[in-house]
Structure 1
Amino acid sequence: MKKLLCFLFVSLSLLVNAATDGERAVISLNGTWQFDQTINSFPPKKFTRTIPVPGLVHLATPKIEEYDKFFKREESVEAKEQHNLYNIDYTPRYSWYRKTVFIPAELEGKNGIITIKKSQYVTQVYINGMDMGTSMSCYTPIEFPISRAIKFGSENEILIKVGDRVWLPSEAAGGTDKEKEHYLPGIWDDVELSFTGNVRVNRLLALPSVKNRNITIKAQIRNFKPAQIFYGDAMSDSINLSISIAEKLSGKIVANKEIRVNTKRDNLSEAVIDIPMDEFTNWSVDNPFLYKAKVTLTSNGDISDEISKQFGMRDFTRKGKFFYLNDEKIILRGTNITLQRFFEDPDCSNLVWDREWVRKLLVDYPKQLNWNMMRICVGIVPDFWYDIADENGLLFQNEWLYWQNHGWDDQIRKEYTDWVWTDGCHPSIAIWDAINENWDDYIGNTLIPELKKMDNTRVWDSGYMTAEQMQNDEMDEPHPYQGVISWIQPGANRNVYPLGNLDFKPESLVEIQQSGSAQLVNEYGWIWLWRNGIPSKLTVETFEYYLGENSTPTQNWEFQAYWMQLETEWLRSEPALAGVLAFSYLTNNYGYTGDWFEGNIKELRPTETLAWLQHAFAPAATFINLTDERYMHIVEPHVPGSTLLFNLTGINNFTMPINGTVKVKFLNEHGETAINQNFQVKLESFQRTDFPVSINLPKEAGGYVLVAEFTSENGQPVISRRFIKVGQADKYNYYKLNTELK
């Protein structure tokens, strides 16, 4: 107990010293809070539960009422295409958080702010019984001044009320997701109290320009002094704003500048400063070098506030149909994360806030899988996720939860603007994604041009809006899903998608080729499974058609891995594409789609789909250009001993030509090599190169695996495969070729 008191005394002393010097003093409110729920808007008479912050209401102990209605572990699946938000199977409740915190007397006279980085849905804050304010923002920080309610030198009660999704006001900039059935409320990012002098850095943007060799600092400054009451009273104050730029790891200062800024009282003012960067290291996927910008506000010689933000010197631009990182062409390769859907996963628990688990998800596997980008789809993520991506060279397409049309223009402008202010320092965020699979004239033609002026260091995506709907269409997000059985007309030839044929050109691919904007395929792969190996709600018919009824999880996983490999090869062989992002890496189990893990997601056990995607996403590879003959219907077998003619399609995402060796072989059902052939290839940079291959087929009838193994100089083998039928056989058995992630 003495050690605890000593620790608290030292901690409070440090806090008091910071406050005495005039710098920002911060008290973290993360940790355990008292918690309970009510049906009406009055607080509970007593709190019977606890809950971690950050977290959502499913983490309360004991469990919330009707917990089992939010989390259902289905043993079987029923085909379903969408869900109506208002078809609820639970009782909407208010969620109440309570915490007491000691605030030192030394902070009296300072201006206090409570910051809740993210809370959903409709959040109201009380301190010592006084109402501090209400906010409908769900994905950007909620902040209220609190000094008038604080009891300095004593304990203070903080009470936070959070509403249910069905009560979110019509004007709120929060879309609906027709593939979600439960929207969990709660405080899902950091919470803190902070104290400053009379002027405070409210928001800070560090916008780099590698091309111009400078950094633009934009500071939004809050002046707490009272507004003018009598004629002749001061309306503004002049302050010093100084900035120092330092390398994050070494602390070496590389640039600094100081200016004088006029700030309007009881209001927000903006300052913009350009700082030359004579020497610097670029931030890139391979070298995520970071800097810190420290901003200090001084009023009458005293420090009023001081904060730091990390950033990277990088340019992400669009030229024609392609993206460029630091003026070097980059082909985007990766996947999607749908975090808001994952929140309703029975195994979600506290994993979203477990830094070790998140690092494995965002760093360890993606590096093996040759991914350089992820799309944060239909909803953004906690702030530290972006920090991890910054530090490890992962790019993000950062998408707001805006799928179905929702929100009023003024509120959308308010929340989207704060979104850019809040997350705009992260070098990992390369693309702001305003809409998913939809259109909105205001967002596309009014708001995005405004926000481009605010942040010109990134590309904007606006869902399905193209150059026909937008004045400045930087990029499009085609979703060329193939093989969707429910979309095929009854009686039609069901082989509408020749899986494995790299020359297949449906209308969606023709539109990609004809567009003048960058084309980023950020969804494909209508072949989802739950983590127990059974089809998702959207893919029951798909698996029944290709595998028959009652297929086993093993059969489903094997088919999914093959399908995803071949469809990825098809898309990556299209030279008009600026990037390919598979759907989906993390989502809700027991949902409409699925991800590529098995068992409890806590363990992050990859299925064979991820193991094969590491080959399909290799930066340099050769792919077999042949239609599958195992799963595609109406395919005749080859004559034994005949000659098979096909092309190997080579791709190369590197900036220089790649030389290597290709081994082509047939494996019989026992894994024995029946036929093999080796030759040298040269893959030109950013081009598709087709190599004709002539090879004699085995003379024995049966099922074979045609394998093309490309190995570059000093590289690892990259495998492409196709199942081939030779001759007439009662049953075609195929060898299972294995590959795995470490």
Structure 2
Amino acid sequence: MKGKILLFLMFFTGTSLWAARQIVSLDGRWQIADGKSATEIPVTFTHTVPVPGLVNLARPAFKDVDRFISRENLANRIRSKLAPEDWLQKYWVGKVEQDRDYFWYRRTFRAPKERAVALLKINKAQFGTAVWLNGQKLGEYAGCFTASYFPLEKAIRWNAENTLVIRIGAHPAVLPDTFPTGSDFEKIKWTPGIYDSVSLIFCDNPLIETIQVAPRIATSEILVQTTLKNHGDTPVTASLGHTVSPWKGGRKVAVSQPETVALRPGEKKTLLQTIHIPHARLWSPEDPFLYVLESSTDGDSITTRFGMREFRFDAATKRALLNGRVYYLRGSNITLHRFFEDPLCKALPWDEDWVRGLLGDLPKKMHWNYFRFCIGPVPDRWLDICDEVGLLIQNEFFVWTGGPGWYKGYSRRYDTDEMIRQYKDWMRDNWNHPSVVVWDANNETKDDTFGEKIIPAVRALDLSDRPWENSYNKPAGLNDPVEYHPYLMISGYRGPLKFKMTDLETMDGKPRKGALPSDTHPPLINEYGWLWLNRDGTPTLLTENVYAQLMGTNVTARQRLDLYAYLLAAKTEFWRAHRHYAGVIHFVYLTCSYPGVYTADHFADVTRLKLDPAFADYMGEAFKPLGVYINFFQPTLKRGQPREFIVMLINDEAIPQRGQLTLSLETRSGTVLAQTKQPFEIEALGAQTCKLSLTVSQDGGDCLLKAVAHHGGKSTVCRRWVTVTD
């Protein structure tokens, strides 16, 4: 198989054409085999598999390819009495339910004529990676969520065919127990694979090893950090230069002063340069404008895309700031590594059109500007698309180990040095994406090591100084956010459902006392609801008892889905209306859905990206920038009686909004039974509480209490289900 060669050519004074970096993509169909040995390469390869992709896409298919029960899921099953208690200790590193430990990938490529540097780059693969070229082992890499690089010079055959073999673990248990392989109490299947792109890099010395671009919007500058390395055995002197241009074409807008660098054999140097960009255009979800930095030495060249964007949280106001201005966050979560389990997943995560629809078209329709990539990373191309369509990303490292006492006998401790190594690589892979605005160290985890050792060891590497989120642990920085997961209906999971929607009428929306690791840091809600349904409308393991208490069991799937959308939207309106949070992020937009799962998403057809219509309707209204919340959840209204209603309005936009607020009581078919109107005016980023009186109609039956805010040709609708009775 021949790789497609992509040439990135940059021209600077004194730079030859041969200085261009050659990148050979190895994406495509590979041969694959399995085995128990970590050292014996299989003799025959009788299956093929796509790269990027997962091993469950191999043809012919492998038996039991996903079968592994993690320590976290074992603890969860034992607590739910779905597994024997002794399994946790018996299978401490996980219960392997397949007759293999490794998968071996193989393909050939033709190398170009000789260059000084040859590297293999594997963007992401799990679980662990080892590489052989022409029968010679080149090294191993333990990371499952970050890119690995392997020098090829000692084994490559220039201007000839080469055979490349990559070994990955078939399950997490092949790696040391203290290394991060993904910890998730609710993940049922663990699928190995090279799930991101693979490429070859050819150039001459010195190699541009890394580039980091850090915007400085106040001065309209970028700080460029370049790490160069001499892979040769003789000294080298080179000139380093950069140019800046708009990504979508146009003339150069900035050129750096060339800098001469001398490197001894094997030496590595890091240089900092400041480049002024006159009248720089800022990046935001509303205007995701991108630039390209072209960098060149006498031996190598590279293109780096970036956006002029700064993002932080402010502890004084407890708000998020985008490019120096308050910016309210609205959005959802994606748990891609759980979606990997879904029977409909297949090759969708590597389908460009599908991913663009998932990250671009639908979020805009839902008025979302922010996502948490939770429980596992995404392929690099996803973040490229987020940069292009304008999404803010809270990028979470795949760690979820829970709080004290969650599961009897369960614990997990990580090798701190290995975690620091992998967090450094994780930051290196992602720090040039303007979409990535928050480093999320872990999910729902109580472990002081993150705040005391891991984050302090790596934080300064990010020249953009992004905020860090540290879950149940104390925030690591003065302005770092804290996450809040107010699952008001969680009691209904195992016992009586204590919370009632009418409770919201007297709640102020503030975090529950003691629920946050800090009361002085900006809080961010990125999970709430506890109402999950499978795509077919059946409850998940966590909500069977909840829906039985909310509706009984003699209901249709459609009735459950409608109630789900209605209640989730009402909670969304509530959390937004009280303005105690920098953002409200719902859980979950994309995950798996099949019998036995714990949570599920909202797609009626995930392959065609068709959301459930009730969810799209109710949640699409609940997340509009101008929000409307009726503080009323009583099940009935008495006919003929006057009633005062409180309607709260919020404005997420940086311009004032004025218009007319209409409160009406309508039949389910839309006939207006009673109505009142009043004007409103909300300052930029402000809020307003309105009191409206309405006399309930003499007509009875099931009705909608509806508040509609009309403004500038737009409208936002809030609805309450109510029955008019005597």
Verify the 8 A CA contact 1:475 1:520 in the aligned structure 2. yes
Paired residues of 1:335 and 1:522 also in contact (CA < 8 A): yes
Aligned to 2:320: 323
Aligned residue in 2 for 1:256: 255
Task: Work out whether residues 499 and 566 of structure 1, in 8 Å CA contact, stay in contact via their aligned partners in 2.
Answer: no
Report the counterpart of residue 372 of structure 1 in structure 2: 369
Corresponding residue number in structure 2 for 1:706:
705
Cα pair distance change 1:24/1:721, threshold 3 Å: same
> Hey, what does 1:639 align to over in structure 2?
638
The letter for the 1-side match of 2:486 is: P
1:513-524 to 2 correspondences below 5 Å: 515-524=519-528
Conserved in 2, the CA contact under 8 Å of 1:203 and 1:422?
no
**1:644 offset after TM fit, Å?**
1.6
Q: Do 1:500 and 1:566's aligned partners in 2 also have CA atoms closer than 8 Å?
A: no
Q: Does 1:309 align with 2:304?
A: yes
1:555 maps to 559
Residue 699 of structure 1 deviates from its aligned partner by: 1.6
Pairing 1:360–2:367 present: no
**Residue 720 to residue 80, structure 1, CA distance change in 2 (3 Å):** farther
1:330 shift after superposition: 0.1
Structure 2 CA distance for aligned equivalents of residues 482 and 496 of structure 1: 9
- Residue number in structure 2 paired with 1:291: 291
Aligned partner (choices 132, 135, 138) of residue 141 of structure 2: 135
Is 1:425 aligned to 2:420, yes or no? no
Question: Which among 433, 444, 463 is matched to residue 437 of structure 1?
Answer: 444
- Seen in structure 2, the aligned counterparts of structure 1 residues 13 and 359 have a Cα distance that, compared at 3 Å, is closer
Find the aligned partners of 1:669 and 1:283 in 2 and give their Cα distance: 44
* Residue type of the alignment partner of 2:712: E
Structure 2: distance between partners of 1:573 and 1:31: 49
Give the equivalent residue in structure 2 for 1:194: 201
Confirm or deny: 8 A CA contact 1:337 1:376 kept in the other structure.
Answer: yes
Query: Which residue of structure 1 lines up, in the alignment, with residue 470 of structure 2?
Result: 462
Retained in 2: the 8 A contact 1:175–1:407? no
The offset of 1:137, in angstroms, is: 0.9
The whole-number CA distance in structure 1 between the counterparts of 2:682 and 2:81 is 42
Partner-residue secondary structure (3-state), 2:190: coil
718 and 20 in structure 1: CA distance in 2 versus 1, 3 angstrom threshold: closer
Deviation at 1:497, TM superposition (A): 4.8
Contact 1:19–1:25 (Cα < 8 Å) also in 2: no
Q: CA deviation at 1:127?
A: 0.6
Counterpart position of 2:579: 575
Instruction: Name the residue aligned to 2:130.
Output: 124
- Residue equivalent to 2:74: none
Equivalence for 2:388: 391
Q: Once the two structures are superposed, what CA deviation does each residue of 1:555-608 show, in whole Å capped at 9, x if it has no partner? A: 110010001110000110121210000000000112210101024534444342
Q: 1:91 to 1:673 in 2, by over 3 A?
A: farther
Aligned partner of 1:739 in structure 2 is: none
1:726/1:362 CA distance change after superposition, 3 Å: same
C-alpha separation in 1, matches of 2:61 and 2:493: 42
CA distance in 2, matches of 1:555, 1:9: 52
Q: Which moved more, 1:195-204 or 1:449-458?
A: 449-458
| 1:11 Cα offset (Å) | 6.5
Aligned ranges 1:60-459 → 2 under 5 Å: 60-66=58-64, 86-104=94-112, 106=113, 108-163=114-169, 164-226=171-233, 237-257=236-256, 258-263=258-263, 265-298=265-298, 304-320=299-315, 321-404=318-401, 405-457=412-464, 458-459=466-467
TM-aligned CA deviation for residue 19 of structure 1: 10
Q: What residue identity is the alignment partner of 1:306? A: S
Write the letter of the residue equivalent to 2:35.
Answer: T
Measured at CA, do residues 131 and 69 of structure 1 come closer, stay the same or move farther in structure 2, by a change above 3 Å?
Answer: closer
Aligned: 1:31 with 2:18: no
Q: 1:208 offset after TM fit, Å?
A: 0.6
Q: Which moved more, 1:506-515 or 1:328-337?
A: 506-515
SS in 1 for 2:320: strand
Shift of 1:472: 3.4
Secondary structure, counterpart of 1:177 in structure 2: coil
**What whole-Å deviation, never above 9, does each CA across 1:442-467 have from its counterpart, x for those lacking one?**
32133323433222422111112235
Moved more, 510-519 or 202-211: 510-519
- Is the CA contact 1:19–1:195 (under 8 Å) kept in the aligned structure 2? no
SS in 2 for 1:120: coil
Task: Verify: 1:592 aligned to 2:587, yes or no.
Answer: no
- Give the direction of change, closer, same or farther, for the CA distance of 1:642–1:512 in structure 2 (3 Å limit): farther
Q: Aligned equivalents of 1:269 and 1:502: distance in 2?
A: 61
Separation in structure 2 between the aligned mates of residue 54 and residue 610 of structure 1, nearest angstrom: 31
Unmatched runs of 5 consecutive residues or more in structure 1: 72-77, 227-233, 299-303, 630-636, 729-742
Contact 2:377 2:398 in 1 (8 A): yes
- Code of the aligned partner of 2:268: L
Does residue 546 of structure 2 align to residue 542 of structure 1? Answer: yes
Letter of the 2:334 counterpart: I
Between the aligned partners of 2:8 and 2:619, the Cα distance in structure 1 is 50
CA distance in 1, matches of 2:513, 2:389: 33
The structure-2 alpha-carbon separation of the partners of 1:185 and 1:451, relative to structure 1 and needing over 3 Å to count, comes to same
Q: Is the 8 A contact 1:101 1:156 kept in 2?
A: yes
> Which residue is equivalent to 1:624?
630
Deviations 1:382-412 (A, max 9, x none): 0011111111111101111011255311111
* Structure 1 residues 12 and 216: alpha-carbon distance in aligned structure 2, compared to 1, 3 A threshold: closer
1:392-447, Cα deviation, whole Å (9 max, x unpaired): 11110111101125531111111111111111000000111111111333321333
**How far is 1:80 from its partner?**
5.6
Q: What is the rounded CA distance, in whole Å, between the counterparts of 1:199 and 1:96 in structure 2? A: 33
How far 1:57 sits from its partner (Å)?
Answer: 0.3
Which residue identity lines up with residue 56 of structure 1 in the other structure? L
Residue 701 of structure 1, CA deviation: 3.2
In the alignment, what sits opposite 2:406? Answer: none
**Cα distance, 1:88 vs. partner?**
4.3
TM-score, normalization by structure 1: 0.87
Report the AA paired with residue 473 of structure 2.
M
CA distance, structure 1, for counterparts of residue 556 and residue 67 of structure 2: 28
Instruction: Kindly indicate whether the alpha-carbon contact (under 8 Å) linking 1:664 and 1:708 is maintained by their aligned counterparts in 2.
Output: yes
- TM-aligned CA deviation for residue 504 of structure 1: 4.6
Q: Which amino acid aligns with 1:97?
A: Y
Deviation digits for residues 662-718 of structure 1 (CA, Å, limit 9, x no counterpart): 221112244322112222111233333110111011223322210111111122x21
Distance in 1 (CA, whole Å) between partners of 2:178 and 2:33 is 28
- Give the aligned partner of residue 647 of structure 2: 648
The percent of aligned pairs where both chains have the same amino acid is 31
Aligned CA distance change for structure 1 residues 14 and 600 (closer, same or farther; 3 Å): closer
Bigger CA drift: 37-46 or 279-288?
Answer: 37-46
Distance in 2 separating the partners of 1:267 and 1:443:
32
